[in-house]
Amino acid sequence: MNTIFDPLAQCYSSQRFPIYAREGMINCSSPQAAAAGLEALHWGGNAIDAAVAAASALPVVEPSANGIGSDAFALVWSAKDQKLYGLNASGPAPQLATIQRVLEDGKDDKGKMPTFGWTAVTVPGAPKAWAELSRRFGRMPLSEAMAPAIRYAREGYPCAPNLSLMWKRAYKKYKETCTGPEFEEWYRTFVPEGRPYEAGEIICLPNHADTLEAIAFTEADAFYKGDLARQIDAGSKKYGGYLRYEDLAAYEARWVEPISVNYRGYDVCEIPPNGQGIVALMALNILKEFSFSQKESPETYHRQLEAIKMAFADAFQYVTDPDHMEMDYHRLLLPEYGAQRAAEMGDTAKVYTHAIPPKSGTVYFCCADGEGNMVSYIQSNYMGFGSGIVVEGTGISLQNRGHDFSLDEKDANALAPGKRSYHTIIPGFLMKDGKPVGPFGVMGGYMQPQGHVQVMMNYIDFHLDPQQALDAPRWQWMRDNTVTVESRFAPEMARALQRMGHDLRCDLNTPSFGRGQMIVRLDNGVLVGGTESRTDSNIACF
């Protein structure tokens, strides 16, 4: 590219103010996806139509973090019903996928589920999520809501700086690990010139366009019961995968009742397990036992870190598909249990779990309209481009969510046919006195509940506006007492936390700390939005 600047060379810290709007707002990690949502609103759609437009565009304009073969979750505030709805569009393991079969077939990776290839693929839920949201709450046909996504795929769009960076990282990893014939379609689809895209280059994904068109005009039936399902089945059989047509045809997304914890008068809402939103709620349930007057205080950060470690300790022990959980997950959110855990917290760092969270790739966005409808939505291939599998001639990149299953039958999250894995992607929603405040979310694997806790405390405890709540320097618990912090994290705070037993390390990779969005509705109906400064995020509004 003939440019004299590097768009990733951020020489100066910039100020970003919250955005105010009246009739509609879409906050996305991709400017094109935000524009797609705004287009739906201009055509007479509501916030749910805007969400479908943005969600279906994201596999095209940010394929480094999600795909047509992703899973999805959503929280929807219906202005008509004055109620918050939850949608779980995560897919289960195929019926042929058993621990014994994976081990006997030699499909495991040293006794664990592999990261790449067909074995890690579970039933994709995202296309069903688009159809379900449109059917239940949308105002326009699915084909109209998805029109911008199809146009982007067919006519092309310019590559954004962070998208180019993520593409290059994925390409480097895949060249090292994804070398078999089953991965050839990924290279044909995403690196047709034999190299990743540079910022400003035009990306066209014609196979995506054809597939999205088929999904749009059949309300996703083509993906689950039609030709696309048969193509997925054929690819899986060809390369020894376990996913079959019957798994796709039987799949249905689930409408679920959101779970919540009251934190200082606000109800913080999440999707129930198999999602990990309960981790954020468990941590807040502990933290509400303490008073916080200062954000930039070693005691504040220490208590946040200890609470999140306690919450993850319980989640790794119990959380999986609720149909397979050994206990009622509501018990983990009882006020007395939060108080019990808070009483265990001391003045020095402790180790509560030895689990090592992996990295991931996810897209989160939120939107609202002038009528009062609001959507918190998240979609993911799990790790970047996912399994490395792209179904031939379709552009369908399949997730590798099955990697999180355990091959130890004693574990709560052990692999089983038809079982949904512990899921990292979580949308959030904030309410007060039964009324909606607004949607929020922070994408990024096991960073997500940690990001939710930090953003919510920034807003509720420390009264930061949505943009500042997102911009504040973040920390991330990794394992044992190891914590990474952003380079902007105050050095004196880091030293104080080290004296308290936390093993702090600076991470210059800002995307690893999550990428968030947030909208707050004021009493007069005005929308106030913040968007992530760590990536290519944008707010489209009017």
The residues annotated with a catalytic role in the active site are 362
The two three-digit tokens of residue 42, written as one number: 């201009």
Distance CA 270, CA 252 (A): 20
Beta strands 503-506 and 482-485, pairing class: parallel
Are 19 and 529 spatial neighbours (Cβ–Cβ below 8 Å)?
Answer: yes
Q: What torsion do the CA atoms of 538, 55, 178, 227 make, to the nearest 10 degrees?
A: -150
Distance CA 506, CA 486 (A): 6
Q: Of 191, 240, 194, 189, whose CA–CA distance to 211 is shortest?
A: 189
Token match 């982007």: residue? 152
Q: Which regions of 264-387 does DSSP assign to beta strands (E)? A: 266-270, 361-369, 374-382
Beta strands 19-21 and 24-28, pairing class: unpaired
Residue 360 to residues 174, 186, 210, 395, 403: CA-CA distances in angstroms? 14, 18, 27, 20, 11
In sequence order, which ranges of 196-226 are alpha helices (DSSP H)? 206-218, 221-224
Q: Of 292, 266, 267, 270, whose CA–CA distance to 279 is shortest?
A: 270
Angle subtended at Cα 515 by Cα 513 and Cα 517, rounded to the nearest 5 degrees: 140
> Residue 203 belongs to what H/E stretch?
strand 202-203
φ and ψ at residue 131, rounded to 5 degrees: -65, -40
Distance CA 268, CA 256 (A): 16
Residues 6+ apart with CB under 8 A from 2: none
Distance CA 427, CA 425 (A): 7
Distance CA 424, CA 402 (A): 12
Residue 297 to residues 283, 366, 419, 493, 494: CA-CA distances in angstroms? 18, 31, 43, 7, 10
Q: Which regions of 230-314 does DSSP assign to beta strands (E)? A: 254-256, 259-263, 266-270
Q: Of 460, 532, 382, whose CA–CA distance to 73 is shortest?
A: 382
Residues 6+ apart with CB under 8 A from 449: 276, 277, 279, 280, 283, 308, 311, 312, 426
How long a stretch of residues is the chain?
542
Are 371 and 23 spatial neighbours (Cβ–Cβ below 8 Å)?
Answer: no
Q: Of 28, 25, 91, 24, whose CA–CA distance to 56 is shortest?
A: 28
Distance CA 476, CA 507 (A): 10
